[in-house]
Amino acid sequence: MRGLRRCLCIALVVLLPAAGAAQDRAQTLADLRAELARLTADLGALRQELVATGAIQSGAAGGSALERMDAMEAALAQLTAKAEALELRVTKVVTDGTNRIGDIEFRLTELEGGDVAALPPTPPLGGADALTLSPLPAQPADTGAPQLAVSEQADFDRAREVLGQGDFRAAADLLETFAQTYPGSPLSGEAQYLRGEALSQLGETSRAARAYLESFSGTPNGPQAPDALLKLGQSLGALGQTPEACVTLAEVSLRFPGGTQAAAAATAMQGLGCP
């Protein structure tokens, strides 16, 4: 009977994955696969225990314990296959996006007269934790507000205020300092986007494109991501990098369909004569 209770516990884990995920909101795809493998091994051990004790026919109505274990093992196999498929899909998206960003960085460095041989490896799209599963929604007791360093919000607000006053050079400098002072800040995506806006007003299109690229690549799912990707494509078009501009603008509609940014991207593609 103890073995059967253990069997039921495993079934609950399989049928209610959200409950387990709530306890570990930073669980990675690799962790998920490892957990599924452990559950499969536990079921195998339990099967041997039931056979050894002769309890395989002692289950409740609806089939023997062995039959129910077969069903659970089949469900585990399906979950494992889905986890592997998801991991392959995420890896492909991250790899393709990272390669495209690397190509754009190469082009921008060439336009700026920089040393392309000195370019560091392009970090994965979305950061080093790109393969980490998105966290579950915060519990009601948790406001979910980003944790900011002392004076981080004040520095950001000051830079945004200067931008609003039309002092684009000072704003660009303040936003660049912000990005260097607070790497990985929850506000970094917006800061880089606003820096791109300031540089664009100054006519520094190449530097603006790089800022838009930093904004999007750092927070590809952030609130500024659609605008940053759109402005990046438009900037590349203005720089004469038509093929890269067309690819980037097409990505706007693929990633953010139905929005105003997608419509603007389609108009920009027409103006560039994109295929």
Instruction: Compute the C-alpha angle 169/170/173, nearest 5°.
Output: 90
Model confidence pLDDT, tens digit, residues 125-140:
555 444 444 443 333 3
**pLDDT score at 9:** 43
Q: Position of tokens 């492909």? A: 92
Which residues of the chain, if any, have pLDDT below 70? Answer: 1-33, 35-36, 43, 46-70, 73, 75-103, 105-107, 109-147
- Tell me which amino acid residue 13 is: V
**pLDDT score at 199:** 96
- What are the angstrom distances between the C-alpha of 168 and each of 173, 198, 211, 214, 235? 9, 5, 14, 19, 17
Burial letters 189-228, b for 16+ CB under 10 A, else e: bbbbbbbbbbbbeeebbbbbbbbbbbbbbbbbebebbbbb
| Under 8 Å between Cβ of 219 and 255 | no
**pLDDT score at 235:** 93
